[in-house]
Amino acid sequence: MSDQKMATASLLIDNEHVRVTRFDFAPEAQTGWHRHEHDYVITAISDLKMRLEEPGGEQREVSIAAGEAYFRNEGVEHNVINIQDGPISFVEVELKRR
């Protein structure tokens, strides 16, 4: 994995209620495989065109307009890859349970 570009994750808030992280991707950058331990909301800062690699070899492409948001339940496992020619960014808010 050393020759793969990785997204930059900037932790903005981490307390007992939420974890807020900004992700910035150069072209072809990726998050690496991960499993979400909490329910979460993604808000697109820029227009996003991403490939999601999912368990079992499944892949799908998603496009999200800047300013749009979506919610997912905990347990999602994937690798997210920027497939645009330019950079992309989004903010992820993880909802911690008490």
pLDDT of 97 reads 83
CATH number for 74? 2.60.120.10
pLDDT of residue 4: 83
Residue 3 lies in a domain: no
Domain count, the chain: 1
Q: What is the pTM of this model?
A: 0.93
Residue 1 within any structural domain of the chain: no
Instruction: Answer whether 80's CB lies under 8 Å from 35's CB.
Output: no
Residue 49 inside a domain? The answer is yes
Is 24 inside a domain boundary? yes
Q: Who's near 83: CB < 8 A, 6+ residues apart?
A: 28, 49, 50, 51, 61
pLDDT at 71: 97
